[in-house]
Amino acid sequence: MRKKAIYPGTFDPLTNGHLNIIQRACKLFDSVVVAVAKSTSKTPLFDMQERVALAKQALASYANVTVVDFEGLLVDLAQQQQAEIIVRGVRSIADFEYETQMAGMNRKLMPELETIFLTTHSDWADLSSTLVRDIARHQGNISTFVPANIEQAVLQKLR
């Protein structure tokens, strides 16, 4: 049976840490849906359409990856996409605590949905989209942390 996984997040913006998780997920599953959340709890720098467009550009060379936006429950998207796996990257114990709680609640909402954690590569363990935005805001160099198209978009947005 073909395995379809969803990799959800806010991706404000997508970083090399996210990219590393996507590259590894691509090898594990037949197809990967990168799901860009509207995220009502965060105030993103990029609106949802911009985050989707940037992720699409950065991921254009991955044949088995698609990018979608979503609003509402992740389990509803999983049902709509007919995906039975959620992939999440885990950077630390703090992430693990948050992620196990979310995975547990998603399992209660949709028992057949499995969440799989991939440990973040050590190169990206300290990275977050917030820190990337903060470094860029203070004229720091973000080129090692994000794909080139995203570096350009962040610089342009903050100009």
Instruction: Name the residues annotated as catalytic.
Output: 18, 42, 91, 129
Strand partners, 74: none
Determine contact, residues 129/15, Cβ cutoff 8 Å. Answer: yes
Contact 30, 2 (CB under 8 A): yes
Site for ligand COA in 127-146 (CB under 6 A): 127-130
Q: Which residue has the tokens 């999440």?
A: 88
What residues contact residue 148 under an 8 Å CB cut-off, 6+ apart?
none
Shortest approach of ligand COA to residue 86 CB, angstroms? 8
Comparing CB distances to ligand COA, the nearer of 17 and 147 is 17
Touching ligand COA, residues 21-80 (CB under 6 A) = 21, 37, 39, 73-74
Q: What sections of 5-120 are H helices per DSSP?
A: 16-28, 48-58, 74-81, 93-109
Binding mask 89-128 for ligand COA (x = CB under 6 A): x-x----------x--xx-------------x---x--xx
Instruction: State the minimum distance, in angstroms, from the CB of residue 54 to ligand COA.
Output: 13
**Chain position whose Cβ is nearest to ligand COA:** 17
